[in-house]
A and B are shown apart, each in its own frame.
Chain A
C-alpha cells in the first residue's frame, strides 16, 4: 500500500486539494505532531482559495473616498490617474470623450473590465455621490467597502472539528523560527483567514529570524502593509526586497504601490527598471500598458499591448484592448479581426458577442449583426443584459427605427435602473418627438446617476436654450464644459449665450 503522506503530496501536485486535505487529516489524526503533514494541509487549504493578491488589488469606495496617500491634489495633466477628467485636445492622444466613452473616474473605457478600471469614485466626490453612483447595484456595500472578508469559511466546515488552525492561540515566536512552517502558515493567514494583522506579526518575526535576509519575507511584509492601506510602509519593504534580490513580483508590487499613491510616472519608472532585469516580461508590460491607458496615452498603451502580444499571442487583455482601440478609432474591420481571435480562443461571453455585433454593424456587415446580438441575449447574465439591450438600441437608432430603439432602452432600464446612458438616449428620443418636459426629466435622471457624463448636460442645456430658459441653459452648459472642456457644440452654445448676456 502506498504511503498515505506520499499520496497526499501526489494529490497536492495534481491540484486535487480536497483529497490531499482528507489524507493529511488522517495522517494528523494518527500523529498530531507531524509537521510535514501539517504544513502540507496548510498549503492545500491555502491553494484552494488563493488568488493573486496584486492582480485583484483594488481600492474600495472607502479607500477611494478617504484617500490619504495622494500628495498632489491637482497634478498636472498626464501625471495623475485621479485628476484631469478629460484632457484638453492638445495633450490628449486618442479619441475624444465624444467618441470613446469615459468611466466614472474620467478615464476612457478600457477593453477589459478589471479591478480598478471602473473605479467608482474620483477625488472631490463626496461620500454621498460615491455611494449613490455605485456602478452596480447588485454588489453589496460590504464588498466594496475596502475590507477583505474571510472567503474560505465553506472549506473549513468540511474538516469537521472547527477551524484547522486557531489563530488566536498560535505561538508566533515558535513558528517564526522554522521557515518550513512559517511560510505555509503565513500564506494560510494571509489568503485564507484574511487575518492581515497576525500575518504581519508572523512575517515581522520570521524576517528577523532568518539569515541571510530573505526577499520573500520582505515582499510578504509589503503585501500585508498594502492590504492594511499603508503604501509607504509597503514601499519600504518592497525596496528592501529589491536590494536583497530583484524579483518580478517586487517590481509589480512596487508599481501597484505607486499607482495607489497616484504617482503613475513613478510606477512606470519602476516597471522600466524591472524590464531591464526581466526583458519583455508580460506582467510588467501589462502594468505599464494599463497605466498608460489610464493616462490617456492611447498609442503608447496600444504599442505596449502589441509588445505583449508578440510575447504571448493569446493574451486576452491585450487583444481586447487593441480591438477596442481600433473600434473607437474608426477601424471596425480591424477591431473585428481581434474580436474574432478572442472567439477562436474560446472566449464565449455576451460582451464579446455585443462587441462583434457592433463591429459588424459599423463595418456594414449587417447580416451578422443581429445574429451576434441574438447570441448575446441568449447567454447574457443579469449583470450585462442591460448593456446588451442598450447596444441593440444603438443599432436601432442607426437604422432609424426609433420605436424599436426606445423599446430597447426601456428594456435596458428595466434590467438596470441605474443605466444613465439609456436614460440619456431615451431623453433624446423624447425630445425628437417634441416632448420637452419628458426628455428633461430623463436627462436629469441620467445626470444624477452619472455626473461624469457631458451628454445629458449638453442635451438639457440645448433644450433649455430652445424654450428660452437662457439662464438655466447657461448654467448647465458650463457644467457640461467642466466634464469635457473641448466639446465643440457646448462651447458654441456657451459662447452664444455669453455674447447674448453681454449685449443685454
Chain B
C-alpha cells in the first residue's frame, strides 16, 4: 500500500483562510463543498472532487472558476454547515459575526433566518438535540455567545435559551447518557465543561484553561482542546488521557484513519503539525507537516458513497486531502515505529540498570569503609527517579531492616521515617494574605529536600516545586495554597526525604484532597466579627434533613480544626480567606438551613454542594441578594440607554454612508468629464464626511463593547440565581428570567431571583 502516510491530493487555493473557520457542507445534496472564511469578510466555496486518474500526492492549483465567494461584510467569527430539514440531504450554511447569526441556503441563494445577537457569536453547531419541548427529531442550530446558548430551528424560531458561566468556547452534540438522543457538551472560558440535556445541566467537569474546541468521537467519548495547548479525551466525565504542547491546537476532529471502525483524534496545531492519535491512549499513529499553521480540519464524503476523506487546510490556503488507509494498512505504517520504539525502550532500561548498579557499588564502598556487615540496607537506597511509595498516613514503609541511624549510609534513611501532612489555615500577616497551608514534616532528623505538588487549577502550570536552599534544610516545610475556585482539589504530592549531605533521596508519594470550601475559616461562636451585621444576602434551603447529616457535610467540605459533633440546631460562621467576607450558616432543628453571605456565587456553590451531598434532585429556595439585584437593575437600565443611543448612531451612520456614496459618484462623474475643480470639491467634502463617519463609528464600537459587557454580567447574575436552585426550579429560573428581560420587566426579574418564579 503506497497510498498510506501521504496526502491524496493537495490543492492550493491561493486565498488565505482564517483559522478555525472551516467547514464542509453538501449544499446541493450532491457535492461536498469546502467552505472557509477568508480575508475581506468573505466566505470561499470550493467543490471537492476526488481526482480521477491522477497519481496520489499531486499538487494542483484551485481553478478560479471553481471558487465562489459569499460576501458577508462583517467580520466572520464562526461558520458551520448542517442539515436543517428532516427529509433532505441538503446542508445549509450558518455564519456568525460580531453582532448577528444567519442561516443561508447556498443552493438557492436564500436566507433561512437572520437574527441579531448583540453579544456576538463564538460558535455554532447544528444537529438534533434531545430534551427539548419541540421534540428531538427536528435539527436545530445552537449558537454559543457571551454566556448564552441559543437554539434556532429551520424557520429561525427560538427553541432553546439558557445561560452558562462564561463565554462559550465550544459546543458539541453527542449522546452522553446513551438514551438515543443527543446531549449538548459546552466548554466555556471559566474552564468548565458542562453537559446540557435540554436546558438542564446533567454533568460538569473542570479543566485547567479556557476550552477552545470540543469534538464528539464515538458514543459518549469526546475530545477537547484548551487555549493553553492541551488536548485530551473524555469518556463521559472520566478523562482517558491528555497531553500538553507549547503550541496551540487549532482544530480537532474525529476521523477513522486506520479503517478499524473506531475514529481517531486528528489534531491540527498552530505550528503546522498535524497528528492523528488513538482515542484510547493518545498514541500517535500518523504525522504530517504543513508549512503554515493549520486553519481547520474536516471530514468530507467526496464521492457520496459513504467513504469519508480527511480535509485539512492551513492558513495560507493549502488544502490536503487524505484518504483512510485500507484495513491492512495499519500494520504497514506502524511497523517501522515498533522496531524503533522497542530499541528506545530497551536502551532506557539499560541506562536505568547501569545507574542502579553504580549506586550499589558506591553504597557498598561506603559500607565497607565503616566496617559494617549489613548489606541488605543498601537495598533501601534508591535513586530519586525511581519511586518508592510510602504512604505516610498509613504508617511506616513496612520494611524491617535495621539500618542504624548512626551509620548514615548514603541515601538510606531510617525505616521508621514517617511523613506527616496537615492542612491548616493561616490568617496571614501584614505582608502575606490569608491562605491555606499544607505542612509536611518527618518524624525524625531527616530533612525534606524538595516538595513537588501537582494539582489542577491552583498553580500556574499545574505544578509547584519548593526546594529550600541547601543550608536551610529542615524536617518541616509549609507550602501556601490559594485555590481560586470552590472545588474539590486533589493534591498529588511528592516529597524528597533524606539527610542534609546525602545525594540520594527517598521519594514519598501521596495524594491528599483539599475540601471544597477550604478557603473558609471558622469563626469562634459568640465572638462574631463586627462585619456580620452587614451580611444582608441570604438563601433559605427548606430541606427536611437531620442536622447530623449536615454536620457530616460540614466535616467533609470545610477545613475544621475539630470535627463537629451532632447537635440539633446550631449556627456556624466562617470568614473567607480570599476577601475576609462572612459566610454564616443557621441550621434549624427541622433541618432548614439559611446561608448568609453577600456573594451569590458562593451561595450557589454551597447550595449545589449540599444538594449533591444529600441527593436532592429538585429544590426551590428563597433568596435575597440586594447587591446583585441593585447591580442588575443598573445594568438593565444602562443597556436600555445604550441601545437607544446606538440606534440613533446607526441611523446617522447609514445616512452618512449614503451621502458618501453619492459624493463619490459625483466626484467620479466630474473626473470623467475632466472637471478637475468639481472633482476636487466633491472629494474635499467626501473627506470631511468620512472623518465624521469614522468618529461616529468609534463611538458606536465603544458603546457596543460596554453593552456586550453588561449583557454578559446580566447573564452571569441569572446563572448565579439559577445555581441557588436545583433541578427543575433551576431551569425555570432561567426561562422566567429570559422572559422578564425580553419584556424589560425589572420587578419580575427581582421576584424571580428572590422566589424562583415571577
B668 beta carbon closer than 8 Å to chain A: yes
Return chain A residues, CB-CB under 8 Å to B647: 204
By the criterion CB–CB under 8 Å, are A79 and B655 in contact? no
| B672 sits at the interface (CB 8 A) | yes
Q: Are A265 and B651 in contact (CB under 8 A)?
A: no
Q: What B residues does A62 contact at CB under 8 A?
A: 658, 661-662, 664-665
Task: Compute how far the CA of A230 lies from the CA of B644 in the bound complex, rounded to whole angstroms.
Answer: 17
A52 CB–B CB distance under 8 Å: no
Return the chain A residue nearest B43 by Cβ. A71
- Tell me the nearest residue of chain A to B116, going by C-beta: A236
Whether the pair B658, A228 counts as a contact (CB closer than 8 A) is yes
- Is the beta-carbon distance between B672 and A71 smaller than 8 angstroms? no
- The interface residues of chain A lying within 8 Å CB-to-CB of B110 are 79, 263, 265-266, 269
* A228-B655 contact in complex given A127-B668, A131-B665, A235-B114, C-beta closer than 8 Å: yes
Q: Which has the most chain A C-beta neighbours within 10 Å: B652, B659, B669?
A: B669
Asked if B655 and A146 make an inter-chain contact with CB atoms under 8 angstroms apart, the answer reads no
B15 to chain A, nearest CB (A): 13
What A residues does B111 contact at CB under 8 A? 258, 261, 263, 266
Distance in Å: Cβ of B724 to nearest Cβ of chain A = 33
User: Chain A residues near B657 (CB, 8 Å)?
Assistant: 229
Complex-state Cα separation, A258 to B661, whole angstroms: 21
Instruction: Assess whether B289 is interfacial by the CB under 8 Å rule.
Output: no
Report how far A146 CA is from B100 CA in the complex, Å. 27
Asked if B68 lies at the interface with its beta carbon under 8 angstroms from chain A, I say yes
A141 partner, pick from B71, B100, B659, B666, beta carbons under 8 A: B666
Q: State whether A146 touches B651 (Cβ < 8 A).
A: no
Nearest CB of B to A347, in Å: 34
Residues of A within 8 A of B69 (CB): 73-74
Q: In the complex the two chains form, is B71's CB within 8 Å of A196's CB? A: no
Closest residue of chain A to B42 (Cβ to Cβ) is: A73
| Chain A residue nearest to B111 in the complex (CB) | A266
Contact of A71 among B72, B107, B658, B662 (CB under 8 A): B72
Contact A132 B108 (CB under 8 A): no
- Determine whether B501 belongs to the interface, using a CB cutoff of 8 Å to chain A: no
Instruction: Confirm or deny: B196 has a beta carbon within 8 angstroms of a beta carbon on chain A.
Output: no
A471–B655 Cα gap in the complex (Å)?
50
Q: Which residues of B contact A258 (CB under 8 A)?
A: 111
Verify if B373 is at the interface (C-beta below 8 Å from A). no
User: Are A128 and B665 in contact, with the CB atoms below 8 A?
Assistant: no
- Residue pair B68, A74 in contact (C-beta under 8 Å): yes
Within 8 A of A (CB), among B97-114: 100, 104, 106-111, 114
B70 touches A73 (CB 8 A): yes
- Chain B contact residues (Cβ within 8 angstroms of A): what range? 35 or more
Q: What mask results when residues 31 to 43 of chain B are scored 1 for a CB within 8 Å of chain A, else 0?
A: 0000000000010
- Chain A contact residue count (CB 8 A cutoff): 48
Closest 4 A-B residue pairs measured CB to CB?
A62-B661, A79-B109, A145-B662, A228-B654
Inter-subunit contact A197/B651 (CB<8 Å): yes
Known contacts A145-B665, A197-B651, A266-B111, A70 near B71 by CB under 8 Å = yes
Contact A131 B654 (CB under 8 A): no
Q: How far is the CB of B190 from chain A (nearest CB, A)?
A: 32
Chain B positions within 8 Å of A72 at CB level: 68, 70-71, 106, 109
In the assembled complex, the CB of B595 is this many whole angstroms from the nearest CB of chain A, namely 41
Proximity string of chain B (76-105) to chain A, C-beta cutoff 8 Å, 1 when within and 0 when not: 000000000000000000000000100010
**Interface pair A68/B672, CB less than 8 Å apart:** no
Which residues of the other chain, B, contact A63 by a CB distance below 8 angstroms? 661
Distance A347 CA – B42 CA, assembled complex (angstroms):
49
Residues of B within 8 A of A145 (CB): 661-662, 665-666
B351 at the interface (CB under 8 A from A): no
| Contact assessment for B109 and A127 in the assembled complex, using a CB-CB cutoff below 8 Å | no
**A66-80 to B contact mask, C-beta < 8 Å, 1/0:** 101111111110011
Decide: B658 and A147 in contact? CB cutoff 8 A. Answer: yes
CA distance A71 to B93 in the complex (A): 12
Q: B73 at the A/B interface (Cβ < 8 Å)?
A: yes
A480 CB-CB contact with B under 8 Å:
no
How many residue pairs link A and B with beta carbons under 8 A? The number is 109
- The answer to the question of B648 belonging to the interface, with a C-beta cut-off of 8 Å to chain A, is yes
Distance, CA A407 to CA B658, complexed state (A): 45
A6–B361 Cα distance when bound, in Å, is 123
- In the complex, what distance in Å separates the CA atom of A200 from the CA atom of B655? 11
- Cβ of A61 within 8 Å of any chain B Cβ, yes or no, is yes
Q: How far is the CB of A242 from chain B (nearest CB, A)?
A: 12
Known interface pairs A68-B73, A132-B672; A230-B666 also in contact (CB < 8 Å): no
A229 touches B104 (CB 8 A): no
A71 near B109: Cβ-Cβ < 8 Å = yes
Proximity string of chain B (56-77) to chain A, C-beta cutoff 8 Å, 1 when within and 0 when not: 0000000000001111110000
Closest CB-CB distance, B507 to chain A, in whole Å?
63
Query: Is A141's CB under 8 angstroms from B73's CB?
Result: no
A287 at the interface (CB under 8 A from B): no
Q: Which A positions have Cβ atoms within 8 angstroms of B? A: 60-63, 65-66, 68-76, 79-80, 127-128, 131-132, 141-142, 145-147, 196-197, 200-201, 204, 224-225, 228-230, 232-233, 235-236, 258, 261-266, 269
Given known A-B contacts A71-B71, A73-B71, A266-B111, A66 and B668 have beta carbons under 8 A apart: no
CB <8 Å contact, B109 and A131: no
CB distance from B697 to the nearest CB of A (A): 15
Q: Is the CB–CB distance between A61 and B665 below 8 Å?
A: yes
Question: Is A229's CB under 8 angstroms from B109's CB?
Answer: no
Known contacts A131-B672, A204-B647, A229-B658: does B71 contact A79 (CB below 8 Å)? no
* Distance from B508 Cβ to chain A, minimum over Cβ atoms (Å): 65
Name A230's closest neighbour in chain B (CB-CB): B654
The closest CB in chain A to the CB of B100 belongs to A232
Which residues of chain B are near A236, meaning CB under 8 Å?
Answer: 114, 116
Nearest residue in B to A63 (C-beta to C-beta)? B661
Among residues of B, the one whose C-beta sits closest to the C-beta of A233 is B650
Q: How far is B435's CA from A354's CA once the two chains are assembled, in angstroms?
A: 96
- Pick from B116, B659, B661, B668: contact of A131, CB under 8 Å: B668
Across-interface contacts of B68 in A (CB, < 8 A): 72-74
Cβ-defined partner of A68 (8 Å) among B71, B106, B114, B644: B71
Chain A residues with CB under 8 A of B42: 73
- Taking CB atoms, residues of chain A closer than 8 Å to B654 are 225, 228-230
A-facing residues in B320-363 (Cβ within 8 Å): none
Other than the known A128-B672, A145-B661, A147-B659, what 4 A-B pairs have Cβ atoms closer than 8 Å?
A131-B669, A196-B655, A228-B651, A233-B650
Residues from chain A with Cβ under 8 Å of B652 in the complex: 197
Q: Which residues of A contact B104 (CB under 8 A)?
A: 71
Residues of chain B contacted by A201 (CB below 8 angstroms)? 648, 651
- Assembled-state Cα–Cα distance A407/B71 (Å): 49
**Residues of chain B in range 617-655 having any CB-CB distance to chain A below 8 Å:** 644, 647-648, 650-652, 654-655
Q: Is the CB of B116 within 8 A of A146?
A: no
Shortest beta-carbon distance from A243 to chain B in Å:
11
Which of A61, A62, A225, A269 gathers most chain B CB within 10 Å? A62
Q: Is the CB–CB distance between A232 and B109 below 8 Å? A: no
The closest CB in chain A to the CB of B655 belongs to: A197
Determine the distance from Cα of A189 to Cα of B662 in the docked complex, in whole angstroms: 21
Q: Closest CB of chain B to A303's CB: distance in Å?
A: 21
Residues of B within 8 A of A61 (CB): 665
Q: Across the two chains, which residue of chain A brings its CB closest to B668?
A: A127
Give chain A residues whose Cβ lies under 8 Å from the Cβ of B644: 204
Name 18 interchain pairs, CB-CB below 8 A, sorted by A.
Answer: A63-B661, A74-B68, A74-B69, A76-B107, A76-B108, A127-B668, A131-B668, A141-B665, A145-B665, A146-B658, A147-B659, A196-B655, A197-B652, A225-B654, A228-B655, A228-B658, A266-B110, A269-B110
Q: How far is the CA of A134 from the CA of B666 in the complex (A)?
A: 14
Residue of B nearest to A68 (CB): B73
Q: B179: shortest Cβ distance to chain A, in Å?
A: 35
> A270–B405 Cα gap in the complex (Å)?
93
Point out the residues of chain B lying under 8 angstroms from A204, CB to CB: 644, 647-648
The smallest C-beta distance from B109 to any residue of chain A, in angstroms, reads 4
Rounded to whole angstroms, the CA-CA distance of A230 and B107 in the bound complex is 24
Flag B513-557 by CB within 8 Å of A: 1 or 0 each: 000000000000000000000000000000000000000000000
Q: A79-B110, A230-B654, A265-B110 are in contact. Are A146 and B662 (CB under 8 A)?
A: yes
